[in-house]
Amino acid sequence: ISLVFFSLGAIRCYSEKEINQPSHFQNVHGQLYLASVDEPFVEKKNSFKTIAKIISVKQNGIWKNTSGRLLIYFAKEKFDTTLFYGDCFVFATSPQEISLPQNPEEFNYKRFLGFHNVFQQVYLAPDNWHRINSNTGNYVLASAYHLRTKLIAILRSMLPDQRDFAV
């Protein structure tokens, strides 16, 4: 009986991993990708980072519905700062697999993202993507993210020192 439960658990774990689904965008090689911003942006030194859901992929002139999440870095130069959760955009740059850590003792970011069903990444220069639609996400999440943005702006104005703000 324990072998049956172990086998059922292993099958469930395998099937829950998005990358194993035939509809995952990694299994559909296309020229264009339609994505939706799924998490708030994080500002980095030279880019803005977010996670996006891949909605569909254009393959041989036909859009195919897909699933999966992707780590996206947008170049800072000419970045449209009005891009927000739920906004849809199209890009043509092919996603790449997230690389393993170079140092054996280094934090394994690839493994960490794998726990969140994110297995690939892409860097988008200013001319490599175009916004299509706005506000297509969950209304409750969008409201929460807007409120978060406003609260952070208030905190930044009251705590101008970055060190104080970090606490």
Task: List, for residues 72-116, the tens digit of each pLDDT value.
Answer: 999 988 887 778 888 899 999 889 998 888 888 889 988 898 888
* Per-residue pLDDT, 48: 92
How far, in Å, CA of 68 to CA of 120, rounded? 10
> Would you state the pLDDT for residue 166?
67
pLDDT in tens, 143-162: 888 888 888 888 888 877 77
pLDDT in tens, 6-46: 888 877 777 777 777 778 888 888 889 999 998 888 888 88
The structure's pTM equals: 0.80
Q: How confident is the model at residue 136 (pLDDT cuts 50, 70, 90)?
A: confident
CA-based nearest residue to 85, from 46, 52, 121, 115? 52
- Whether residue 49 is predicted with pLDDT greater than 90 in this model: the reply is yes
- Residue with token string 């829950």: 16
